[in-house]
Amino acid sequence: MARRDKRYRLPKNWIVLPLIVYSLLFVLSFWIITESIEIFLAYTSSLKAKAETENVVYYADLYDQSTFDSDELFIDYVASEYEFFVADENFNIICKNTDNITAEFILPDEESASIGLVRHLAYELDLTSERDYFFMPDKDCSFLEVEAYKIMPIYAHVPTSFFKNKGELFPYWTVFTVKNGTEFIAFKTHIPITLTDMTYLAVFTTVSILLVFIIFVILIVNLIRTTKNNSQMKKVIFRDNITIDRNWFWFAIKSREILGRRKAGTQYAIVSLVFVKYRQYLLCHSLVQGEQALRVMYRTIKASLEKGEIVAHGNLNTFPILMKAENEETLRQRIADIISRLEATGGEHDFNFQAGIYMIEPTVKKNADIDMLYNNASNARLTLESTDESGIAFFNNQLLEEAKWTNIVTENQKDAIANEEFKVFYQPKYDPRTNELMGAEALVRWDSPKMGFIAPGKFIPLFERSGFITEIDHYMISHVARDQKRWLDEGKNIVTVSVNVSRAHFSEVNLAEQIRDLVDAEGAPHDKIEIELTESAFFDNQKLILSTINKLKEYGFHVSMDDFGSGYSSLNSLKDMPLDVLKLDAGFFRGEKDNERTEIVVSEALHLARKLNMQTVAEGVDEQYQVDFLAKEGCNMIQGYFYAKPMPREDFELRMSNQQPL
Ligand code: C2E
Ligand code: CA
Ligand code: CA
């Protein structure tokens, strides 16, 4: 189920998620670029400011240690390099060598107290300006943190002079507390930003933005291409090559979608609609005409559907349909209408259509196993297969049981072989005149720990359909050969045992070799093994069957025709095939007693066989009068409940030792 589920899961076409991720990446990249610019600015500015700060620290220390409050010499000395001023703790200027202390902002060296102090100082000294910015020397003045955003507005003021001067000196004040906190000394320092610095910055910015942009465009183009490819792929995957419209795969996926979305109370049914004699139609018409007819049918069905109903073209001549179904009667009516419309597309041709319907349970929703539902509809349709006429059949409980059974058997069959769950039963064949044991037929039984003891009628037809029957046939041949070999080794008087070989198996070219090898592997003699081939198989590939029979006989096996008289006349096969044994079908012995016509047919069949040098076995004999009649007519062996039912190996071994019927 899980594996089936996967079959109908298409790879999701994610577009929104990558788009969001790409956009986020895009924004993130721009953020990183802006941050990088800031860091670059801060780093360059810091480097350049550092040298200046080292100088003014020296001057501040010099002033701090001097005994004068305001020494002319000091002023001269410093003034040669810096503009500066000294203020007392009340922010009164004690001395200065500049009048220009209004435009810039200043800061003390202690970061913690700084902000308040600076604001205060700025206020007292009337230092407010839009161009304010500052640097914050740390205690050792070894590094200066830069609040770069403060520098930004300056650019707006300076571009012309900046380019003319090939750079600009950005002034700032550095303040120190001196004389035990009773005075401040402030120096006007500068950061020299050059044109080269700005060029680096511009190149870096342009290249990064360009790169991000290119990558983003590539990603988007790729996303669009993948999306386009995906939708193109979907079209191809979902396309039926005959109708150039929807195929089974689409049908299965869409049905799940519809069932998943259905409102409570909306009933759905899945329909398997088949154009009955398509192959025959193809024999008389060209493939092109056949496909054209299918296209017309498809369009006719499609036009007959209501909103929310879907149809596809399945295999060859089948059309899976998902329809709303109020109840069985209205649905039957609608499908009958569709079928009449389809029949009309045939013109003078006699077109027929059969529909199998499965009413989907209301509980079946989005994870519906569409294969299983459709299989049920197909099974319902198969019940109509005996006729070529148009018809409609609903899936019923008996079919459901069969479907369940098929499932169980298929799931268990492989293990059953490995675990030797299949048992060989032997049904003895007796000579009706002497009551002597002449042979036996090996018949399979399934002794399943899960399902109990199962008769072949319940699983052989299934295996024949699935092809698993060949495994059973091999298994039976090997086991019979093994038993024969063991009995021989034990000194028992063995009789010929016949093994059924399925009709499905007879189409294999090397069947005779397979049988020989299986028997040889067990070391059993060939001439005590008989291969039973059912009558109806003789209508298959006659050349192949004849060659297989010839080879089997060459290897020393006996070959019999099983169920003679059960089907169509097989006299022709008797003429051509060099068979050893003829097994009269149980049907001859099922009718009422003293049926003269049956007696004539049986008697003549026995006569015919004898003339063709064939042994005869009558099957399904359970009455004394039948035994007497067959004995009189010279039938060689009787295999029937009158003598014995099929029995386990151990019971049969007793019969072999006694060599006496009960
Ligand atoms: P079949 O080959 O025609 O086997 C004869 C069937 O008739 C057996 O049924 C047997 O039990 C039954 N039978 C024999 N005498 C009487 C009788 O007097 N009265 C009644 N009512 N029935 C009698 P069984 O064993 O159930 O097998 C049914 C069919 O299953 C076989 O028909 C054969 O077609 C198939 N089959 C059984 N075993 C194997 C096998 O190992 N391989 C293959 N390929 N088919 C097998
Ligand atoms: Ca048989
Ligand atoms: Ca038979």
Residue 38 CB neighbours (<10 A): 16
Per-residue pLDDT at 117 exceeds 80: no
Q: Where are the beta strands (DSSP E) in 473-552?
A: 496-501, 529-534
Per-residue pLDDT at 32 exceeds 60: yes
Q: Contact at 8 Å (CB) between 245 and 313?
A: yes
Cβ of 545 less than 6 Å from ligand 1: no
Per-residue pLDDT at 415 exceeds 70: yes
- Computed over every residue of the chain, the mean pLDDT equals 84
Ligand 1 centroid–CA 219 distance in Å is: 70
Segment 498-524 shows an average pLDDT of 93
Query: Binning pLDDT at 50, 70 and 90, where does residue 124 land?
Result: very low
Ligand 1 centroid–CA 477 distance in Å is: 16
Q: Give me the torsion for CA of 110, 111, 115, 119, rounded to 10°.
A: 30
The bridge status of strand 581-584 relative to strand 558-564 is: parallel
What pLDDT score does 18 carry?
Answer: 86
Ligand 2 centroid–CA 425 distance in Å is: 12
Over the stretch 77-107, which tens digit does the pLDDT of each residue have? 777 788 787 877 776 777 777 665 443 334 3
What pLDDT score does 418 carry?
Answer: 95
What pLDDT score does 77 carry?
Answer: 73
DSSP 586: G
Measured CA angle at 184 (ends 181, 189), to 5 deg = 140
What pLDDT score does 420 carry?
Answer: 96
Per-residue pLDDT at 199 exceeds 50: yes
Segment 483-495 shows an average pLDDT of 95
Cβ of 473 less than 6 Å from ligand 1: yes
Over the stretch 538-580, which tens digit does the pLDDT of each residue have? 777 888 999 999 999 999 999 999 999 887 656 778 888 899 9
Per-residue pLDDT at 15 exceeds 70: yes
Over the stretch 250-268, which tens digit does the pLDDT of each residue have? 999 999 999 999 888 889 9
Ligand 3 centroid–CA 562 distance in Å is: 5
Cβ of 620 less than 6 Å from ligand 1: yes
Judged by DSSP in three states, 137 sits in strand
Nearest ligand 1 atom, CA 646: 11
* pTM reported for the whole predicted model: 0.57
What pLDDT score does 661 carry?
Answer: 46
Per-residue pLDDT at 154 exceeds 80: no
Query: Binning pLDDT at 50, 70 and 90, where does residue 109 land?
Result: very low
Ligand 3 centroid–CA 468 distance in Å is: 20
Over the stretch 435-488, which tens digit does the pLDDT of each residue have? 999 999 999 999 999 889 999 999 999 998 888 999 999 999 999 999 999 999
| Burial profile 481-506: b = 16 or more Cβ within 10 angstroms, e = fewer | bbbbbbbeeeeeebbbbbbbbbbbbb
Tokens of 436: 């002597």
Tokens of 347: 């013109």
Nearest ligand 1 atom, CA 464: 44
Cβ of 443 less than 6 Å from ligand 1: yes
Give the closest residue to 502 by CA, choosing from 530, 531, 479, 525.
531
Segment 419-427 shows an average pLDDT of 97
d(CA 560, CA 498): 8
d(CA 649, CA 419): 18
Segment 240-245 shows an average pLDDT of 94
Per-residue pLDDT at 200 exceeds 90: no
Residue bearing tokens 């979608």: 257
What pLDDT score does 513 carry?
Answer: 97
What pLDDT score does 169 carry?
Answer: 72
Per-residue pLDDT at 142 exceeds 60: no
Q: Which has more pLDDT, 484 or 402?
A: 484
Nearest ligand 1 atom, CA 532: 2
d(CA 167, CA 152): 15
Q: Which has more pLDDT, 96 or 130?
A: 96
What pLDDT score does 399 carry?
Answer: 79
Amino acid at the residue 488: L
Q: Which has more pLDDT, 156 or 164?
A: 164
